[in-house]
Amino acid sequence: MLTVPSTVASPSLAPLVQTLTAEHGRISELAESIQAAGSAGARKAALDLAALFETHAATETDELLAALAPDPSVNLEAILAGVGPSKSEEVELDVRELPHASRHTAIFNIVDHLQTGQALIITSDHDPEPLHAQLEAAHPGAFGWTYEVEGPEEWRVAIRRM
């Protein structure tokens, strides 16, 4: 479960944190109903729970972490402890939604916390090659860089910790 300390949950993020907290409660309710239900009811509850959790986890990653990543005072490692993506999962960040001045900081805050094999997929409105050079200078050979989409209006790059 993602727990955001109240000191980093700014007023603009309050509705999102409230929604995610309510979903945590609903996930717990569904898990309890699976335990109490008969076989047909348990199957439906399990399907409902899986669908809710998939949407919930995507919201946490795509919206809440993206909103917190540019803030250097936020300790993403502490927030992600025990809830980060598995080694096979990818984190996506659309940097077009971030101010230009905070894009690289947000990306580095995330890649610095990736485990071996995990990837950050960034979507940008320009070729992020300067970021690639900066990343390689800071962490030589530590990350793979794979273009998934190469312009002209959108670039998607997978940055995978080696």
Of 24 and 82, the one with more pLDDT: 24
Q: Where are any strands of DSSP class E within 64-135? A: 90-94, 119-124
Of 28 and 147, the one with more pLDDT: 147
pLDDT of residue 118: 86
pLDDT of residue 1: 43
List phi, psi (to 5°) of 110.
Answer: -85, -50
Report, as an integer, the average pLDDT of 107-134. 89
pLDDT of residue 8: 46
Environment class of residue 55 by beta-carbon count within 10 Å: exposed (0-12), middle (13-18) or buried (19+)?
A: exposed
| Mean pLDDT score of the chain | 76
pLDDT of residue 133: 96
Whether the predicted pLDDT of 61 surpasses 90? no
- Strands 155-161, 119-124: pairing is antiparallel
pLDDT one-digit tens code per residue, 101-114:
888 888 887 888 78
Whether the predicted pLDDT of 147 surpasses 90? yes
Total-model pTM: 0.51
Whether the predicted pLDDT of 2 surpasses 60? no
